[in-house]
Amino acid sequence: MRRKGALPTKTCPVCSRPFTWRRKWARVWDDVICCSERCRRTKRPADPAATRWPRT
């Protein structure tokens, strides 16, 4: 058994929060991008200023 601190981590591109490896992701860890189903559905960048239209 591993300690929780020794598990691999990634950063979610949607919410910019770190998330750790889960047992159900053991076979697909390389393909996991988002931390949750909610982030996967929204798929917005973490910086809302980057998606705003320039005001004229």
Buried b (16+ CB within 10 A) or exposed e, 3-38: eeeeeeebebebbeeebebeeeeeeeeeeeebbeee
pLDDT given for residue 42 in this prediction? 85
Question: In this predicted model, what pLDDT tens digit does every residue of 1-54 receive, in sequence order?
Answer: 667 778 899 999 988 899 999 999 999 999 999 999 998 888 765 555 555 555
Annotated domain spans of the chain: 4-45
pLDDT given for residue 48 in this prediction? 59
Contact 35, 12 (CB under 8 A): yes
pLDDT given for residue 47 in this prediction? 58
Contact 54, 45 (CB under 8 A): no
C-alpha 40/C-alpha 34 separation (Å) is 6
Structure tokens at 48: 């809302």
pLDDT given for residue 17 in this prediction? 92
pLDDT given for residue 4 in this prediction? 73
